[in-house]
Amino acid sequence: MSPRWQAAMIAADDVTQAPLLRTAFTLDPGHWEVTSAVLHLSALGVVEPHLDGEPVGEDVLTPGWSSYEWRLRYVSHDVTARLAAGDTAGDTAGGTGEDHVLGLALGNGWAVGRLAWSGHRGLYAPEPSAIAQLEVTFADGHRQTVATGPDWQARASAVTADEIYDGQDVDARLLVPRWAAVDGPADGWSGVHVVDFDTARLTEHLGPPVRRQEVVRPVAVTTSPSGKTLVDFGQNLVGWLRFTVAGGAGSTITVRHAEVLEHGELGTRPLRTAKATDRFTLSGGTDTFEPTFTFHGFRYAEVTGWPGELTVDDLEA
């Protein structure tokens, strides 16, 4: 059954690039155990929900492409086990006076990012925004709703650029550990504003969700005639690279993607204006990178800036 939307579409006040949104909440006391908890959400952009410091579900690029002028798809996640397992209604945790934290990580996606051959951005929305409604039912029939609204908080993430066509930039020096957890940082947050949005446009998601399907390992790492490092995955695929690496703070690894080689070099000519390039700036410690606000069709990846010698065991797609 479709939710009766009480939530508002919200966007960050002071952050225009890949903001993090969050709210802390306490389960209503005196109502026995949680018997049902469902999170409904959508975004103008793409959104990744988090509950108590952990991702909700395996979906990526939610809510996907839509005819935004007519409808916006929403998805629903059953989080009953997450809330029932740690049900401490009436108590406090982490010394903050709050039991739980609901967080939303936002990217530009199709609605806000660069789209089509003209290179225009923001064709359907000028900024990334999200709407979420957590509906909790207790054993005695009591219901509690946690919804996006003007009381939420926002801050910048480690994602410094993200586009479907052009790729994603991540600066590991800017990571906010446990930003959606009860014991996460209390400072550094600013406000949000409500975006004018008609919830009648929200329509239940149709079709299978977008999820990671498999892991593909490289078959070879070679050097191009111009001296570039090329990683060959042996097949065309859709996705991104994932790797863990340690290197000097502030140094950057750049990954360019293409389906073919031309004269032994990465063949980007068929991409036209799409950059299909991800950049990862290292923190100086051990960093794990996985750019989930973009995707690429590729067989080959050109990698520059890797600390040391790159081997087939260092990364995966």
User: Is residue 279 scored above 50 in pLDDT?
Assistant: yes
| Domain spanning 10-159+174-204: CATH 2.60.120.260 | yes
CA–CA gap between residue 239 and residue 217 (Å, rounded): 13
CB-based contact 72:47 (threshold 8 Å):
no
User: Which pLDDT does position 115 carry in this prediction?
Assistant: 83
Task: Report the predicted TM-score, pTM, of the whole model to 2 decimal places.
Answer: 0.94
Using pLDDT thresholds of 50, 70 and 90, give the confidence band for residue 95: very low
Least Cα distance to 60 among 16, 131, 109, 123 occurs for 109
Give Cα 95 distance to the centre of its chain.
Answer: 28
Query: Taking residues 201-230, what's their average pLDDT?
Result: 95
Using pLDDT thresholds of 50, 70 and 90, give the confidence band for residue 94: very low
Quote the strand ranges of 79-214, DSSP E.
100-107, 129-138, 143-147, 153-156, 159-163, 167-171, 192-194, 202-204
Please give the backbone phi and psi of residue 65, each rounded to the nearest 5 degrees, phi first: -75, 145
User: Which pLDDT does position 235 carry in this prediction?
Assistant: 97
User: Is residue 113 scored above 90 in pLDDT?
Assistant: yes
Q: For 120, which DSSP code?
A: B
Residue 281 tokens read as 């700036």
> Mean pLDDT across the chain, nearest whole number?
93
Q: Judge if 10-159+174-204 and 220-316 fold alike in CATH terms.
A: yes
User: Which pLDDT does position 10 carry in this prediction?
Assistant: 98
Cβ within 8 Å of residue 255, ≥6 positions away: 167, 241, 277, 278, 279, 280, 301, 302, 303
Query: Taking residues 20-45, what's their average pLDDT?
Result: 94
Of residues 4 and 97, more confidence is placed in: 4
Name the least confident of 87-91, 158-162, 173-177, 211-215: 87-91
Using pLDDT thresholds of 50, 70 and 90, give the confidence band for residue 86: low
- Residue percentage of the chain with pLDDT more than 90: 85
CATH architecture assigned to 220-316 = Sandwich (2.60)
User: Is residue 91 scored above 50 in pLDDT?
Assistant: no
User: Which pLDDT does position 176 carry in this prediction?
Assistant: 94
Least Cα distance to 165 among 118, 130, 203 occurs for 118
Q: Can you spell out the DSSP letters for 205-239?
A: --SPPPB-------SEEEE-TTS-EEEEEEEEEEE
Query: Taking residues 104-115, what's their average pLDDT?
Result: 95
Q: DSSP 3-state assignment of 146?
A: strand
Using pLDDT thresholds of 50, 70 and 90, give the confidence band for residue 93: very low
pLDDT tens digits, one per residue of 129-167: 999 999 999 999 999 999 999 999 999 999 999 999 999
Distance (Å) of CA 238 to CA 3, 96, 138, 216, 224:
33, 42, 42, 11, 23
The strands making up 153-156's β-sheet, listed across from edge to edge, are 54-55, 46-51, 100-107, 19-25, 153-156
pLDDT tens digits, one per residue of 168-188: 999 999 999 999 999 999 999
User: Is residue 120 scored above 90 in pLDDT?
Assistant: no
Residue 215 tokens read as 């892991």
Q: Are strands 202-204 and 72-78 parallel, antiparallel or unpaired?
A: parallel
Query: Taking residues 272-281, what's their average pLDDT?
Result: 94
Please give the backbone phi and psi of residue 316, each rounded to the nearest 5 degrees, phi first: -150, 160
- Residue percentage of the chain with pLDDT more than 70: 95
User: Which pLDDT does position 293 carry in this prediction?
Assistant: 98
User: Which pLDDT does position 98 carry in this prediction?
Assistant: 54
Name the residue ranges covered by the structural domains of the chain: 10-159+174-204, 220-316
Task: Respond yes or no on whether the N-terminal peptide bond of residue 63 is cis (omega within 30° of 0).
Answer: yes
CA–CA gap between residue 218 and residue 198 (Å, rounded): 46
Q: Which long-range contacts (CB under 8 A, 24 or more apart) does 202-207 make?
A: 202/2, 202/5, 202/42, 202/71, 202/72, 202/73, 202/74, 202/131, 203/71, 203/72, 203/73, 203/74, 204/2, 204/73, 204/74, 204/76, 205/63, 205/64, 205/73, 205/74, 205/75, 205/76, 206/73
User: Which pLDDT does position 129 carry in this prediction?
Assistant: 97
User: Is residue 233 scored above 90 in pLDDT?
Assistant: yes
